[in-house]
Every structure is written in C-alpha cells, then in structure tokens.
A and B are shown apart, each in its own frame.
Chain A
Amino acid sequence: MPTPTKGPRLGGSPAHEKLMLANLASSLFKHGRIQTTETKARRLRPLAERLITKAKRNDLAARREVRKTIGEKDVFVSLFEEIAPRFANREGGYTRIVKTGPRKGDAAPMAIIELVEELVVAEEPKKKAAAKASAKKAAQEDKVAVLSGEADEADEAKA
C-alpha cells in the first residue's frame, strides 16, 4: 500500500493539486522565497526538497524526473546549475517556513517559504573545539609550571 501524502489535499482534483504544487515549486526556485498560505507551504516543502535532492544527484534519470515537475526551462537550468551545488554539503532541510500571520481579506494563515542559505563551513565548530582544547591544555601546563616553580624561572629568563 502506498504511503498517503502528508497534509491536507489542495484544489478541486488531484490534477489541480499536482499543477498547483508544481507551479509553487517553480516559483520557489525562481524567486528563492515565496509567500503563500501555510497549508500550501507545508505541502510544498517535501516536494521542493525531493526535487533539490534529485538535482544534486544530477544524472539523466534525475533530470528527467525533475523535468516531469518543473516545466520552465530557465528554472530547471538554474535548479541544476545554481541551487543544487549550493546545497552540496547539506543533507536535506533546504527550505524554511516562517509563519507571517493572517492574510487581510480572508484571514488565511500565511507563511513565507524560502531556500535556506548555503552551509558555509561545516568544520568551523570542530576548529573551535580544538582551539578550546588547546587553550585548556596550555592552561593546565601553566598550572603545572606554577606548581613546580618553573614559571618563576621562565619569568626570570624573560626579564
């Protein structure tokens, strides 16, 4: 049995829903961030992330799979040339949804869905940890030096 899609159904028919989600995905890749209803944003997120993952794979089969959803050629090219390399060192979580309150007119809860920033340096926290560790080591060595009276000698040598 196929897993049912998460979230509420949209539009009047499955074809309408498919088209709406495909158009939302194209708009998201074209503009980087779009404002839509929270429901549509929540339905769009898994589709858009799956498309980006396919674009990262970047083989002929993946290109054809993405082509089924993304009709606009310039958006398709930019997805493979610009967006996919940007997320090379991110494993999923390419989009962010932020709620922006009810819409004027029908009070529909609105949200902004956007492509997240490039993950700049993944090794940065490790470096910090290493720096901390080395600092600790140095401090401990100082303590040891003080205890053994070597620090005084070092000071004298400096003077």
Chain B
Amino acid sequence: MPVPKRKMSRSNTRHRRAQWKVTAVATVPCPQCKSAKLPHAACGVCGTYNGRQILAV
C-alpha cells in the first residue's frame, strides 16, 4: 500500500488549511419583525411564517 515518504512541512500544511473557508449563512429579513431568518423557514425571533404564528415565542 502506498504511504507518504516524507513528513509534510508546517508550511505546506498551513497552505492547505488556509483554503478552508467558512461562508456566511444566507438569510433574508423576516417580513414581520425584520430580523434575519433562514429563507423558506419560520422566523426564530417572532415565530411567524407566511403571516402565520408557527412557533410559540
């Protein structure tokens, strides 16, 4: 079975890891309370979706 011949340098490791990036969660403003919420989901702050109270606040 093939295995790495040499230890990977810290530099190479860090260059590789520098490409790990997080992206911001896409949100939309809630039509009721204007706070950021996930699209197509009930608002976590006011608990409404499509003008209907879904979650108890």
Cβ of A101 under 8 Å from chain B = yes
Cβ of A50 under 8 Å from chain B = no
Residue of chain A at shortest CB distance from B47:
A100
Residue of chain A at shortest CB distance from B41:
A99
> Shortest beta-carbon distance, A8 to chain B, in Å?
19
Contact residues of B: prevailing secondary structure = loop
Q: In whole angstroms, what is the CA distance A129 to B44 when docked?
A: 38
Cβ of A84 under 8 Å from chain B = no
Cβ of B33 under 8 Å from chain A = no
Chain A hits for B40, CB < 8 A: 99
Chain B hits for A10, CB < 8 A: none
Chain A hits for B42, CB < 8 A: 98-101, 112
Cβ of B55 under 8 Å from chain A = yes
Chain A hits for B44, CB < 8 A: 100-101
Chain A hits for B52, CB < 8 A: 98
> Shortest beta-carbon distance, A69 to chain B, in Å?
27
Cβ of B38 under 8 Å from chain A = yes
Q: In whole angstroms, what is the CA distance A99 to B55 when docked?
A: 11
B residues touching A (Cβ–Cβ < 8 Å)? 38, 40-42, 44, 49, 52, 54-55
Enumerate 21 A-B pairs (CB-CB under 8 Å) in ascending A order. Answer: A98-B41, A98-B42, A98-B49, A98-B52, A98-B54, A99-B38, A99-B40, A99-B41, A99-B42, A100-B41, A100-B42, A100-B44, A100-B54, A100-B55, A101-B38, A101-B41, A101-B42, A101-B44, A112-B42, A112-B54, A112-B55
